[in-house]
Amino acid sequence: MKIMFMGTPEIAATCLDTMVRGGLNVTSAVTGRDKPRGRGNVMTPTAVRSVAEGHGITVYMPDTLRDGALLPVLEAECPDLIVVVAYGKILPPYVLEYPKYGCINLHVSLLPKYRGAAPMQRAIMEGERETGVTVMYMAEGLDTGDIIAQRAFEIAPDDDFEDIHDRSAEIGGELLLSTIPAIFNGSATRTPQNGELATYAAKIEKSDCKIDFNRPAAELDCIIRGVTPIPGAFAYLGGKMLKIFNAAPVAGSGRAGEVIATDPKGEGSFTVACGEGALLVKGVIPEGKGRMTAGDFVRGRKIQVGDILS
């Protein structure tokens, strides 16, 4: 059976690599265009293109799927199944209907919860203690297709977006590897989603990343972890942005946003009062600087007790 893979970022590349190394016959890959990256704006291929070419897989990079633009590729490759992981474009009906065994998608949540663009981040930000991955048949709605298989895993108290991203990629690739043969041999099940249980995971905006110290420390901890390492949670100190990438909720009280304690020893930390409890900050990124420990920030006299983060 011939499989066409459609995806773009690192999580998709990990799944593709797992599928190929597991023996699945991926004969073509569709991905985004190369983009300029880094200080030199060097044209860089997508993660999927790099992995696909490393395995000798033919790669296509269409600018659009509209108006039948991908039809010549489909007719040339004749895929029996299309597998989609974070491709970034909506598949029109002519693509969805082309393969004999349909189109399937790996979605990084336990559907029907967290449909949409940012399921991993939103699950952490909402304080979930469990998330997972779902393989589903694709339909024209947003992540509404019938579920084929799911696998759940724990969100640990110190897991951030990067941790959940990497775990989702690994487990998602394994789930695709075990599910696709069942689709081909007819043993795969399909379970309609209960729309009444659906929630939406909206794209992360800058406003989601701004730390409001009037909120409880436990909530801020979830928000910080959900947007770390990118795009990063931030507040302002003396009019300059200060990103916080490593923190934990602790006991404490004071004016919301006030630095109530500093500990410059070792890696060090500083503590900020919140609407409920306090936030022990252990890692920061000052405006225009790189990552540093909160201890270095304190030792550099950049912050002290009584300062206000707004």
Distance CA 273, CA 30 (A): 49
Domains and CATH numbers, the chain: 3-201 (3.40.50.170), 206-299 (3.10.25.10)
Q: What is the pLDDT of residue 76?
A: 97
Asked if 308 and 284 touch (Cβ cutoff 8 Å), the reply is no
pTM value is 0.94
* % of the chain exceeding 90 in pLDDT: 93
As a whole number, mean pLDDT of residues 210-239 equals 98
Q: What is the pLDDT of residue 147?
A: 98
H or E element: which one contains 228?
A: none
Q: What is the pLDDT of residues 43-92, one digit of tens each?
A: 899 999 999 999 999 999 999 999 999 999 999 999 999 999 999 899 99
Distance CA 97, CA 138 (A): 10
Distance CA 126, CA 109 (A): 13
Distance CA 155, CA 283 (A): 21
Q: Is the pLDDT of residue 40 over 80?
A: no
Residue 136, strand partner residues? 105, 147
Residues whose CB falls within 8 Å of the CB of residue 283, separated by 6 or more in sequence, listed in order = 244, 245, 246, 247, 291, 292, 293, 294
Q: What is the pLDDT of residues 131-181, one digit of tens each?
A: 999 999 998 888 999 999 999 999 999 999 999 999 999 999 999 999 999
**Phi/psi-derived region of residue 232, left when phi > 0, alpha when psi is between -120 and 50, beta in every other case:** left
- Of 213 and 267, the structure prediction assigns the larger pLDDT to 213
As a whole number, mean pLDDT of residues 85-109 equals 96
For the beta carbon of residue 223, count every other beta carbon within 10 angstroms.
23
Q: Is the pLDDT of residue 289 over 90?
A: yes
Q: Is the pLDDT of residue 39 over 80?
A: no
